[in-house]
């Protein structure tokens, strides 16, 4: 009885190894959720740059599929949508996590650049 079980376990391990080898060569499309206008400087710059860097780093194996304008989740939904797996990769403001992660409460402080200052700086 032990030999059949050992053989079966060997076959399972071999099958998983073969499957992981095949899937390592497959292309992967990652959904990216953003909210707000897709023409906003932060979103338009981020999504394009992310795709560009992925192409440079992995030769085009990983690509993104952009879901703009809150199609998958709005900013306020991200702290729940990301950990639950409903959103795999999302554009989110840090202060949305202040009620979820204690260390980011500092993000609630009124500080930073205006959008005009940020646009000028980039």
| CATH at 74 | 3.40.190.170
Domain assignment present for residue 20? The answer is no
In the block, tokens 């500080």 appear at: 111
Domain assignment present for residue 82? The answer is yes
The tens digit of pLDDT for each residue in 100-109 reads 777 776 666 6
The two three-digit tokens of residue 75, written as one number:
């900013």
Q: Which domain holds residue 78?
A: 27-121
First to last CA, the chain: 68
Q: How far, in Å, CA of 82 to CA of 80, rounded?
A: 6
CA angle 45, 48, 52 (to 5 degrees): 130
Number of domains in the chain: 1
The tens digit of pLDDT for each residue in 42-80 reads 898 889 999 999 889 988 899 999 999 999 999 989 989
- Residue 25's pLDDT band (boundaries 50, 70, 90)? low
| DSSP symbol at 26 | S
Share of the chain above pLDDT 70, in %: 72
pTM > 0.85:
no
Domain assignment present for residue 12? The answer is no
Domain assignment present for residue 19? The answer is no
Domain assignment present for residue 40? The answer is yes
């Amino acid at each position: 009885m032990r030999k059949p079980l050992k053989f079966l376990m060997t076959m399972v391990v071999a099958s998983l190894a073969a499957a992981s080898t095949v899937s390592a060569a497959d292309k992967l499309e990652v959904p990216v959720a953003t909210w707000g206008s897709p023409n906003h400087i932060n979103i338009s710059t981020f999504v394009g740059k992310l795709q560009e860097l992925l192409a440079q780093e992995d030769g085009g194996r990983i690509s993104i599929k952009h879901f703009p304008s809150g199609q998958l989740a709005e900013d306020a939904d991200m702290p729940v949508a990301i950990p639950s797996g409903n959103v795999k990769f999302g554009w989110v403001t840090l202060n949305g996590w202040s009620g979820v992660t204690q260390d980011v409460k500092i993000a609630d402080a009124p500080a930073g650049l205006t959008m005009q200052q940020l646009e000028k700086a980039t």
